[in-house]
Amino acid sequence: MELNAASMKLILDFEVGGGEAYYNRFLKSPIWPKGASGVTIGVGYDLGYNTVATIRRDWSPHLSAPTVDRLVTVAGKTGTSARDALGSVRDLVIPWAPAFAVYKGVTIPKFWATTQRAFPGVDELHPNAQGALLSLVFNRGAAMSGPRRTEMRAIRGLVPAKDYAGIAAQIRLMKRLWLGTDIERGMTRRRDAEAALVQASV
């Protein structure tokens, strides 16, 4: 999948502050984005949700072997375990070029495939809606079970009908999940941006 310009901008805005300049200033070293995240590098590449083998496959063509060897030590660690482990890799530097290469060549194809499985019929939507739903899955995953996934299930039913207004409304309803948390502001902004991009499909 080739993201259109609006979708690319949305994801880069929320994952790396818009692109290379912000990345080089604030994100070139590993971070922990709080919550259930793992240690994260590059353009939203969460080491906590990847295996050692996957991290090696994705990053070894772009980074030195010693750097990759250290990154894999935080594989699978999420939440407070990731927070506690961040110090062991925080001094590493991931340049923009390899970060963007992995984003385009690995991350986007991977999450597009996940988005297709989560929302059958997404291929037939306007590119803006495709990008918004990919952003949603990138940020939240594709699970459909449980009370925190009510809106995801609703979206799955709305996609085949190309109900853009309905999809946008469900994305906004998700904001309930982060009320009162320390990531409420960021999650609210992201869901509103995704919903607006879906609505720009019509």
Cα–Cα distance, 109 to 78 (Å, whole number): 23
pLDDT of residue 121: 98
Provide the b/e sequence for 9-48 (b: ≥16 CB within 10 Å).
bbbbbbbbeebbeebeeebbebebeeeebbbbbbbbbbbb
Tell if the pTM clears 0.75, that is, is over it.
yes
pLDDT of residue 172: 98
pLDDT of residue 131: 97
Q: Structural domain boundaries of the chain?
A: 1-15+108-202, 29-94
pLDDT of residue 73: 98
> For 1-15+108-202, CATH number?
1.10.530.40
Positions of the chain with pLDDT under 50: none
For helices 127-140 and 108-118, the axis angle rounded to 10 degrees is 100
3-state helix/strand/coil string of 91-126: CCCCCHHHHHHHHHHHHHHHHHHHHHHHCCCHHHCC
Those residues whose C-beta lies under 8 Å from the C-beta of residue 112, and which sit 6 or more positions away, are 1, 134
pLDDT of residue 202: 79
pLDDT of residue 2: 83
